[in-house]
């Protein structure tokens, strides 16, 4: 299994750093975020080190998504959540601070203080961007 000796998430997987784990399977570990946006905010990571969304093995990505969904389904009843956000940040410009792929699973409550991290725009250059992104 690929690991990065300097990666805090790899150290959690190896049991070298503590974490409040809430789920684990053969490919993923789920644990509570130490700087939560809301009550119940958790992280799902692959056990295999991958820097970000651009590097993660597709099977590990699928496993993370399945683990995130499994957790999200428990949040409404277990925590009284009114909704759930799944968030991934890829690269420092996109707010990634730990460079081991991870998915935030954030229970949302009607009265929580989290807000959109962007101001919605008019989508004026959507056609140009779509053309550039087509394979």
Tell me which residue of 114, 20, 104, 96 sits closest to 51, measured CA to CA: 96
pTM of the model: 0.94
Q: Which two tokens stand for residue 102?
A: 């991870």
Residue-wise pLDDT tens digits, 54-90: 999 999 999 999 999 999 999 999 999 999 999 999 9
d(CA 65, CA 63): 5
User: Is 47 in contact with 102 (CB distance < 8 Å)?
Assistant: no
Mean pLDDT, 10 residues at a time, the chain of 135 residues: 92 97 98 97 98 98 98 98 98 97 98 90 80 89
User: Among all residues, which ones are annotated catalytic?
Assistant: 102
Long-range Cβ pairs for the range 28-32 (8 Å, 24+): 28/60, 28/63, 28/64, 28/67, 30/67, 30/68, 30/71, 30/105
Separation CA 123–CA 22 (nearest Å):
39
């Amino acid at each position: 299994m690929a690991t990065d000796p300097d990666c805090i998430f790899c150290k959690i997987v190896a049991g070298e750093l503590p974490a409040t784990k809430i789920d684990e399977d053969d490919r993923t570990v789920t644990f509570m975020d130490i700087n939560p946006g809301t009550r119940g905010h958790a992280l799902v990571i692959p056990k295999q080190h991958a820097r970000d969304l651009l590097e993660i093995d597709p099977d590990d990505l699928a496993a993370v998504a399945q683990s995130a969904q499994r957790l999200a389904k428990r949040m409404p009843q277990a925590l009284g959540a009114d909704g759930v956000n799944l968030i991934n940040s890829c690269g420092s410009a996109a707010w990634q601070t730990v460079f081991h792929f991870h998915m935030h699973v954030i229970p949302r409550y009607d009265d929580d203080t989290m807000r959109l991290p962007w101001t919605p725009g008019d989508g004026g250059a959507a056609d140009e961007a779509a053309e550039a992104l087509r394979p």
